[in-house]
Amino acid sequence: MMRNVILAAVAAALSGSAAAAQQGAPPDTRIAEATQILPPDLRAGATVVTYDAATGARNVLRQGTNFVECQPRMADGFTRCYNKALAPRRDLEAKLRAQKKSDEEISKAVAEAVKTGALPQPPKGMMAYRGYDKRDRIQNLWVISLPNATP
């Protein structure tokens, strides 16, 4: 029992240090990691961004040429790619996260910003790609979004 607790603590510490080490990885490594979940024909043209955790400021690691924007693995273990049209929404979410807002507060603020027109409505039909680095969830997930559509 104690051995399991110790192993779990070591695993948690290592995963946290791996995420911290990834933050200091060279940009080319982070770009490759961020885009690996995309279909091969989208990888070279994808924009890759990170956000400063303290301020929410956007940092462009590579400016792309297509419609996709990606984020390297974040503290939650996910790598994300999405349509560039969602960039203003991601920027707002990052700023609110830096202000230590809860997930619920962030969701409400984003919904209000869309309602008032401060954020554009999401485009009709787009793809999102998500990668995860552990076996306890789906590692590669591709999602087709159709906002306000019903079956």
125-147 confidence digits (pLDDT tens): 899 999 998 888 888 889 998 87
Least confident span in 5-9, 15-19, 76-80, 116-120? 5-9
More confident: 123 or 92: 92
Identity at 111, one-letter amino acid code: A
3-state helix, strand, coil in the chain (%, to 5): 40, 20, 35
More confident: 8 or 72: 72
Most confident of 25-29, 89-93, 133-137: 89-93
pLDDT attached to residue 24: 67
pTM, entire model: 0.77
pLDDT attached to residue 2: 35
The Cα–Cα gap between 22 and 19 comes to 5
The DSSP letter of residue 39 is -
Mean pLDDT of the chain: 84
CB–CB of 37/48 below 8 Å?
A: no
pLDDT attached to residue 14: 37
Alpha helix (H) ranges present in the chain?
2-23, 27-35, 40-43, 87-98, 103-116
pLDDT band, very low/low/confident/very high, at 23 (cuts 50, 70, 90) = low
